[in-house]
Structure 1
Amino acid sequence: MLHLLIVNYTGSEEEAAPFVRDHVGYLERHHADGLFLVSGQTVPSSQGGAIVACGVDRETVERISAEDPFVVNGVATYSITTIEPGRIHPALAELLSAQTASPGPRWSRPGEAAGH
């Protein structure tokens, strides 16, 4: 399953600015664990950003998005669309099958080891 996460600022981009460093750390952590495949700012950036996540169920991605420092500090919200891919470009097929075939979750709560 894929999840399209849209990050929407609840106020201005300037209100989110103090939390950007922690938000970037959040993104880097979930890119490193393989959950986030793509992330970036929307155009225009004043609207927020978007993330493509893979390899976990909807409940887990909802829990993870609630832990984004932007959300914790009340400067953004997420909308999540879950996608069951019907057709996949050959260049992505191997990547997506590897993401969904890995045993156990790659994400864990803070303080827990990933995959356990």
Structure 2
Amino acid sequence: MASFIVSLTYTAPIDKVDALLEDHVAWLREQHAAGHLLGWGRKVPREGGILLAKGESRDAVAALAAQDPFVVGGVAEIEVIEWAHGFLDDSIAGLAG
């Protein structure tokens, strides 16, 4: 398993984003329960979000992220970044897979 950062960038006004927020959070929780997402949070200022993911390939994680209600609903775009950890503190060692 490889590690990925998924960067979401809002492409619509925040009221349109908020209209899909409940579905988005439910999807995040489902993907966490399935073992795909390790964490998530909003960007500051609130212009998108960050997902910490693991997967077999960049394409697999991109396909998964494309199912996010924010993306399906046309209010966000994604960028999937694979990263190879050089160091992880013990508190986040789970990111190593």
The TM-score normalised by the length of structure 1 is: 0.75
**After superposition, what is the alpha-carbon deviation per residue over 1:26-74, rounded to whole angstroms, capped at 9, x for unaligned?**
10011112211110111122x0111111243111100001111111111
Query: CA-atom RMSD, angstroms?
Result: 1.5
Give the 5 Å matches for 1:1-116. 1-45=2-46, 47-93=47-93, 95-97=94-96, 99=97
Moved over 6 A (4+): none
* Percent of aligned pairs with the same amino acid: 32
The alpha carbon displacement at 1:96 in A equals: 3.6
The alpha carbon displacement at 1:91 in A equals: 3.5
Rounded to whole Å, the distance in 2 between the matches of 1:49 and 1:96 is 18
Uncovered stretches (5+) of structure 1, i.e. residues with no partner:
100-116
* One-letter amino acid of the structure 2 residue matched with residue 60 of structure 1: A
SS of the residue 2:20 aligns to: helix
Hey, which of these two has a bigger chunk of strand by percent? 2
Contact 2:6 2:52 in 1 (8 A): yes
The TM-score normalised by the length of structure 2 is: 0.87
Uncovered stretches (5+) of structure 2, i.e. residues with no partner:
none
The alpha carbon displacement at 1:89 in A equals: 2.2
Contact 2:20 2:70 in 1 (8 A): yes
Relative contact order, CA 8 A, sep 6+: which one is greater? 2
The alpha carbon displacement at 1:92 in A equals: 3.2
Contact 2:55 2:61 in 1 (8 A): no
Q: How many residues align?
A: 96
